[in-house]
Amino acid sequence: MTPAALRASRLCVDLGGRRIIDDVSLDAAPGAVVGVVGPNGCGKSTLVRTLGRILRPTSGTVHLDGTDIATMSARRVAQNVAAVLQDSTGDFDLRVRDVVAMGRAPHKRMFDGDNASDARIVDEALTAVDATHLAERPFALMSGGERQRVLVARALAQQPRLLIMDEPTNHLDVRHIFDVLALPAAIGVTAVIALHDLNLAAHYCDVIHVLHNGKQIAAGPPAEVFSGELIADVWNVSATVVPHPGTGRPHIYFDPGAVPVRP
């Protein structure tokens, strides 16, 4: 499928009588991987949920290929957008294969059974997250990391044009962290990923958006966004940012005992 173009304009989101997202705009070109970073409580999860129409903005708009996502049917949204969220690890009383097959639902009519094409897509999704050997296991009895990989596979089985992921590396070991974050570029899908780990964001994302107290502090390529001064201002920690010797991408070295130096 052709990757989607995403444009969010001047989003504000109020929850519980409090403004969580305040005048944030974000563009993702087709096939781009966009990272959203910031301290706990900055609004990352709220922003990515709003981009996927899981939450409705108080004001502002989200457009998918020029169409306001608020005007699209739930089915059409689900045919184009898949989400992997932090709190979506419910105890499904299903086999792993059946959980992943749930991703095919938006592309089927009610009461349609799975066909050979669906089975192939499910198998490919399981392979992509290194979970083929888990296919017949009960989802409820799996470890947190195994469940997370299965939920990523379910999103892949949806064959989205836009993939929204909120801290998708939770519970994953190092190898699977790298594999999951490499998936959007590998399959050619547009992605918006909320991340805590700044070095992972710098390595895998084409564009970084930094949030602080619900506001957008900086946006641009990782090399333009990440600096010791910004990290001191936003995270209140001391850090040195240098090019990684292997990739040339920004790499952040933290000094936990130092007092942050601000300009």
Structural domain count of the chain? 2
Domain shared by 142 and 188, yes or no: yes
Domain shared by 79 and 57, yes or no: yes
Domain shared by 45 and 58, yes or no: yes
Query: Residue 1, exposed/middle/buried by CB under 10 A (0-12, 13-18, 19+)?
Result: exposed
Domain shared by 55 and 14, yes or no: yes
Range of the domain at 76: 6-225
pLDDT in tens, the chain (263 residues): 799 999 999 999 999 999 999 999 999 999 999 999 999 999 999 999 999 999 999 999 999 999 999 999 999 999 999 999 986 656 668 999 999 999 999 998 777 777 899 999 999 999 999 999 999 999 999 999 999 999 999 999 999 999 999 999 988 999 999 999 999 999 999 999 999 999 999 999 999 999 999 999 999 999 999 999 999 999 999 999 999 999 999 999 999 888 776 66
pLDDT of residue 91: 61
Domain shared by 257 and 181, yes or no: no
Domain shared by 10 and 106, yes or no: yes
CB 251 within 8 A of CB 202: yes
Domain shared by 104 and 167, yes or no: yes
Other beta carbons within 10 angstroms of residue 138's beta carbon come to 15
The partner residues of 33 in beta bridges, in order of sequence, read 191
Domain shared by 125 and 85, yes or no: yes
pLDDT of residue 257: 81
Domain shared by 152 and 252, yes or no: no
Q: Which residue has the tokens 């990923």?
A: 193
Domain shared by 150 and 260, yes or no: no
Residue 1 lies in a domain: no
Q: Is the dihedral of CA 230, 231, 233, 234 positive or negative?
A: positive
Q: How far is CA 187 from CA 95, 132, 163, 207, in A?
A: 25, 18, 11, 18
The domain spanning residue 49 has which CATH number?
Answer: 3.40.50.300
**Distance from the first to the final alpha carbon of the chain:** 46
**Which pair of tokens denotes residue 28?**
């993702």
Domain shared by 153 and 121, yes or no: yes
Domain shared by 231 and 217, yes or no: no
